[in-house]
Amino acid sequence: MNGTIIETKNLTKIYNGKIKAVSDLNLEVKEGEIYGLAGPNGAGKTTTINMLITRISPTGGEAIVGGYDIVKNSLDVRRLIGVVPQDFTADEDLTGRENMMMVSQFYDVPRQKAQENSNTLFKLVDLEEAADRLVRTYSGGMRKRLELILGLVHEPRILFLDEPTLGLDVQTRTQMWNYVKEIQTRLNVTIILTSHYLEEIDELADRVSIIDHGKVLITGSPEELKGSLNGDIVTVTLTDQKSAELMKTMQGIVEVNEVGPNTLRIKVASADESLPKIINFISQHSLSITKLTVQKPTLDEVFLEYTGKTIREAEGGDEARKLAMNMRRARQ
């Protein structure tokens, strides 16, 4: 246990000789963990997954999955893994159960075993009642849950989830998180998960690599990454401008910015230690406050720290680039 189950060395994919989608990627995934690949649109997440599941071949570097080389032993790799792709794959004109049986035939799972596994899996994601309905009658959340278990009917050791909650509303997304956690603990599989929702990665991943433009920016547990920023944010709203000005003069704070009327965003090394000092300062100078909140850094702030932009700006940037490219093409 806790050995390395996936390892990549300088894994690289260049599409059509020019688009460098993944560049010298080095990853080490430990058995049993949920490993997150986080990054904006076009970062190279799906390309990385597609190489690891042997759907496309790398143009450089290598990767070992479950002890097998993805290029030399691709059939062995395929037997060990389950895949839930970014796009829907289930047949809408079949029932959920018929889809499960079809996938299990594809993997040569004996019929009785397939039936048993299907029952367990439908129960796991609360789809028992819908199992015999046509998939076209499913809601978006039900489809995603079906896709999740379609990747598990042959009892894989490793499950790849590419954007498991894309397009789902917040409530359904939270439900999916619980199912993914259940799968990790009850079925004892290693899970590789991609997402451009950093809060999803924070919630689910034991460790994460943040990638942008095909390169790993940083790897660690969400706690380590957030901790590495060395700063919590205390936001305090005072009753008047004079108090706010005085508050700014407090010693021992990393950075202070005025972010609204009489409202200061104070960055401190550790809120646990600084909060008492801030409260003391307020009472010593007889300042009065109307609001005080403490915010620990999120993975969004980690992304900002390492790329100089927010993940949404990065996505906007890519869209803007695509648009510019299309416009150039249209002119040619």
Ligand X SMILES: Nc1ncnc2c1ncn2[C@@H]1O[C@H](COP(=O)(O)OP(=O)(O)OP(=O)(O)O)[C@@H](O)[C@H]1O
- Positions touching ligand X (CB under 6 A) are 15-16, 19, 21, 39, 41-47, 86, 196
Shortest Cβ 47–Mg ion spacing (Å): 8
Indicate the residue among 45 and 226 with the shorter CB distance to Mg ion: 45
Task: Work out whether 46 is an interface residue with Mg ion (CB under 5 A).
Answer: yes
Task: Judge whether 279 and 207 are in contact, CB under 8 Å.
Answer: no
Edge-to-edge order in the sheet of strand 207-212: 81-84, 158-162, 190-195, 34-38, 207-212, 215-220
Residue 42 binding result from Mg ion, ligand X, none, given CB thresholds of 5 to 8 Å by partner type: ligand X
Query: What is the pattern of x (binds Mg ion, CB under 5 A) and - over residues 72-91?
Result: --------------x-----
Residue 21 binding result from Mg ion, ligand X, none, given CB thresholds of 5 to 8 Å by partner type: ligand X
Shortest Cβ 118–ligand X spacing (Å): 29
3-state helix, strand, coil in the chain (%, to 5): 40, 30, 30
Shortest Cβ 84–Mg ion spacing (Å): 12
CA 246 vs CA 50, 234, 250, 288: distances in Å: 56, 16, 7, 12
Shortest Cβ 162–Mg ion spacing (Å): 6
Edge-to-edge order in the sheet of strand 4-15: 19-30, 4-15, 60-65, 68-69
Indicate the residue among 162 and 232 with the shorter CB distance to ligand X: 162
Name the residue with tokens 């889809």. 99
Task: Work out whether 47 is an interface residue with Mg ion (CB under 5 A).
Answer: no
Residue 39 binding result from Mg ion, ligand X, none, given CB thresholds of 5 to 8 Å by partner type: ligand X
Residue 47 binding result from ligand X, Mg ion, none, given CB thresholds of 5 to 8 Å by partner type: ligand X
Indicate the residue among 86 and 298 with the shorter CB distance to Mg ion: 86
Indicate the residue among 41 and 172 with the shorter CB distance to ligand X: 41
Residue nearest to Mg ion (CB): 46
Q: Is 65 helix (H, G, I), strand (E, B) or coil?
A: strand
Q: Which alpha helices (DSSP H) does the chain contain, by range?
A: 45-52, 74-80, 96-106, 111-124, 140-150, 170-187, 198-204, 222-227, 241-248, 271-284, 299-307, 311-331
Task: Work out whether 12 is an interface residue with Mg ion (CB under 5 A).
Answer: no
Residue 196 binding result from Mg ion, ligand X, none, given CB thresholds of 5 to 8 Å by partner type: ligand X
- Residues making contact with Mg ion (CB under 5 A): 45-46, 86
